[in-house]
Amino acid sequence: MFSTTLTDSRSFGATYQWAILSVLPMDSDKKRHGLNSPEIKKELGLSNAARTSLCLMMKEMAAEGLVQRYDYKVGNRRFVTYKRILPLRKRERIARFLGL
């Protein structure tokens, strides 16, 4: 059967995770702060309707060990940011291997 979409619907979850991971900074990068859900949503150009699914996806990815979740409390406000644990690019893998 002919499909009109370019992506396979069964692999969309993995593609969505990869897109999220691509915008997050590495956990070892101490110069950059982690991103919270609204910042991730803005980087990916997602609509406001995607906020709930993004939050659920981030919690799931943290439970799987793909991202590190940081909880901050400043005054009465609570902030949750995320950083990527695994390197995505060859240069990040090489730098991690060399200890840079």
**35 is a domain residue:** yes
Q: Is this prediction's pTM over 0.75?
A: no
**4 is a domain residue:** no
- In the block, tokens 């291997």 appear at 97
**Token pair recorded at residue 78:** 């609570």
Taking phi first (over 0 means left), then psi (-120 to 50 degrees means alpha), and beta for anything else, what does residue 4 get? alpha
Give yes or no for a contact between 56 and 17, defined as CB atoms under 8 angstroms apart: no
**48 is a domain residue:** yes
**26 is a domain residue:** yes
Whichever domain contains 46, its CATH number is 1.10.10.10
pLDDT single digits (tens) 77-86: 998 999 998 7
Q: How many domains does the chain have?
A: 1
pLDDT single digits (tens) 29-56: 888 889 999 999 888 888 888 888 888 8
**Token pair recorded at residue 91:** 């240069």
Q: 36: Cβ–Cβ under 8 A, 6 or more apart, which residues?
A: 79, 80, 81, 82
Q: Whole-number mean pLDDT of the chain?
A: 79
Domain of 32? 11-98
